[in-house]
Amino acid sequence: MSGIYIHIPFCLSKCAYCGFYSKPSLKQKDAFREALGREIVSRKDYLHGEPVETVYFGGGTPSLLMVDEIGALLDLIKKHYELAPDPEITLEANPDTLSLEYLKGLRALGVNRLSIGIQSFFDNDLKYLSRRHDSQHARQCVKMAKDTGFENISIDLIYGLPTSDADQWNKNLDLFFEMNVPHLSAYALTLEPNSILTKQIDLGKALPVNEEDAVRDYEILCRRAAENGFLHYEISNFCKPQHQSRHNSSYWSHIPYAGFGPSAHSFDGVSRQWNSSSLDWYNQKIESESLTPEQQYNEYVMLKLRTMWGIDLKYIKRELGERFSTHCERQAEPLITQGRLSKTREFLYLTDNQMLFADGVAEMLFW
């Protein structure tokens, strides 16, 4: 099993809060596509012929590529990699780039999962985030996606916004659940260093972000998701049964993946590689690191603690050795006493009220 990630580094404009690598111009799109195609072919042995179960177009705004441009990339993958019989093929899309015609074209190519960056169904939130779409278009594009036969749809929402209160966040969730969409990714608004929003807040030109709003909204989110039959399978991800993102789940399960395009990361099962964050990435050295057993342990703890599957102590003992499983158990003991972790048989889980503090708890378990 393996996966492929393709980073499309273009957007029509830069959102105020954005911390991703993307360029607010399409001027270099053709040169980029050519370089991307060369990279996909030249690294064809990276996955050692493992069947590719998932392909993920992320960005940036992948829906800025034309249908035939996405088709050409998928053709290259089919030609040079072993595509599994029923692959999950996801494309991230922004509402302002979607049309009925475009969605039909994606379906015809075999794209079978859409991740739509809606962020909020309210115009005051969208304006604060400087998104290009409005609430009406946010609703329309979900309907269009369903009308063209997309069943596997995920919506991104952002919570903890100073333009929203608990009532508005609840209404956002009402709209999401009414749409009968099987997957939700919800992220707290974070202030990225050097983002436009961070600068605006520093200058007093935008409303400041309050961490307590994020805690309040997250509690509402977890409760409403459970009431609506959604599994909380990762800190920021919720789905109806059988609708986990297969691609993201494979990251948390240490399945190898190849990442193409600027800033994309790859993992071959032993070491990690990452491309430079530049449109000239193809001419630059791929950075690489092999993980020591201590780093492998820390990474396993950090990734698994975020999921509903938890930390498997037997897995740690088997794959990394007893000294790591013993260390993990010893470090976990006070956290279990404090109610921050729970233990069921050989698995350690975050308790519900610790979900937002996963990174801090993981650090306490680190080697």
- Binding residues for ligand SF4, rule: CB under 6 A, are 11, 14-15, 18, 20, 22, 59-61, 94, 117
Instruction: Name the residue nearer to ligand SF4 (CB basis): 200 or 342.
Output: 200
Coil, strand or helix at 59: strand
User: Phi, psi (5° rounding) for residue 346?
Assistant: -100, 20
User: Checking DSSP bridges between strand 83-93 and strand 113-119, what pairing results, if any?
Assistant: parallel
Place of tokens 């069943």: 151
Torsion of CA 97, 102, 104, 107, to 10 degrees: -80
In angstroms, rounded to a whole number, what is the distance separating the alpha carbons of residues 260 and 7? 6
Helix (H), strand (E) at residue 343: strand 341-344
Coil, strand or helix at 362: helix
User: Checking DSSP bridges between strand 271-274 and strand 287-290, what pairing results, if any?
Assistant: antiparallel
Rounded to a whole number of angstroms, the minimum distance from the CB of residue 78 to ligand SF4 is: 27
Rounded to a whole number of angstroms, the minimum distance from the CB of residue 337 to ligand SF4 is: 41
Rounded to a whole number of angstroms, the minimum distance from the CB of residue 157 to ligand SF4 is: 13
Coil, strand or helix at 271: strand
User: Phi, psi (5° rounding) for residue 126?
Assistant: -65, -35
> What count of other Cβ atoms lies within 10 Å of the Cβ of residue 197?
23
In angstroms, rounded to a whole number, what is the distance separating the alpha carbons of residues 332 and 100? 51
Rounded to a whole number of angstroms, the minimum distance from the CB of residue 132 to ligand SF4 is: 8
Place of tokens 């379906």: 107
Instruction: Name the residue nearer to ligand SF4 (CB basis): 158 or 332.
Output: 158
Rounded to a whole number of angstroms, the minimum distance from the CB of residue 92 to ligand SF4 is: 8
Instruction: Name the residue nearer to ligand SF4 (CB basis): 59 or 87.
Output: 59
Contact (CB, 8 A) for 29 and 10: yes
Contact (CB, 8 A) for 330 and 336: no
CA end-to-end span of the chain, whole Å? 29
Rounded to a whole number of angstroms, the minimum distance from the CB of residue 206 to ligand SF4 is: 16
Instruction: Name the residue nearer to ligand SF4 (CB basis): 117 or 261.
Output: 117
Q: Which residues contact 159 (CB under 8 A, 6 or more apart)?
A: 169, 186, 187, 188, 189, 213, 214, 217, 218, 221
Instruction: Name the residue nearer to ligand SF4 (CB basis): 209 or 301.
Output: 209
Instruction: Name the residue nearer to ligand SF4 (CB basis): 54 or 97.
Output: 97
Instruction: Name the residue nearer to ligand SF4 (CB basis): 15 or 175.
Output: 15
Rounded to a whole number of angstroms, the minimum distance from the CB of residue 214 to ligand SF4 is: 18
Rounded to a whole number of angstroms, the minimum distance from the CB of residue 291 to ligand SF4 is: 28
Rounded to a whole number of angstroms, the minimum distance from the CB of residue 26 to ligand SF4 is: 12
Torsion of CA 156, 162, 167, 173, to 10 degrees: 0
Instruction: Name the residue nearer to ligand SF4 (CB basis): 9 or 182.
Output: 9
Beta bridge pairs of residue 237: 185, 234
- The secondary structure of residue 10, as a DSSP letter, is B
Instruction: Name the residue nearer to ligand SF4 (CB basis): 120 or 298.
Output: 120
